[in-house]
């Protein structure tokens, strides 16, 4: 297994999901090969919960990363779990059309581009 997937698995093990018990891990890779992991962190209000994908990308940006190639997302579900709408928007704004790799603990995986999940995305070009 490559380092990106392993980092996502390691992040998943640190997830804080006492309410849903839905543990998710993510890892984003920069153009220079650095990898940053993140996990979901729940809050009792749910609305203040932070998803694994946003945790990983915000961590990377906070460490100075600016350009990304791919992100891996892992959950223990039979059906592979894609990023939610909020994560898709943040990924588009901060990463552009990066590769998304979904996988589960049983070994199933799928890879595609963010543009496939977020056609006609809203971004800063609409604010000019």
Of the candidates 25, 32, 30, the residue with the CA atom closest to the CA atom of residue 1? 25
Catalytic residue among 29, 42, 53, 78: 53
Contact 9, 15 (CB under 8 A): no
Confirm whether 53 is a catalytic residue.
Answer: yes
> Three-class SS of residue 38?
strand
Residue 25 phi, psi dihedral angles, 5° rounding: -125, 150
Residues serving a catalytic function are 53
């Amino acid at each position: 297994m490559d380092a990106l997937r392993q980092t996502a698995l390691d992040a998943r093990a640190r997830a804080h999901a006492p309410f849903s018990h839905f543990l998710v891990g993510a890892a984003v890779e920069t153009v220079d090969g650095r990898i940053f992991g993140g996990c979901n962190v729940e809050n009792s209000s749910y609305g203040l919960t932070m998803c694994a994908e946003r945790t990983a990308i915000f961590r990377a940006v906070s460490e100075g990363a600016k350009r990304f190639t791919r992100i891996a997302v892992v959950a223990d579900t039979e059906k592979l779990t894609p990023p939610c709408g909020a994560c898709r928007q943040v990924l588009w704004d901060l990463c552009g059309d990066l590769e998304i790799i979904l996988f589960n603990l049983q070994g199933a995986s799928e890879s595609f581009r963010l543009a496939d999940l977020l056609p006609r995305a809203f971004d800063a070009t609409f604010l000019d």
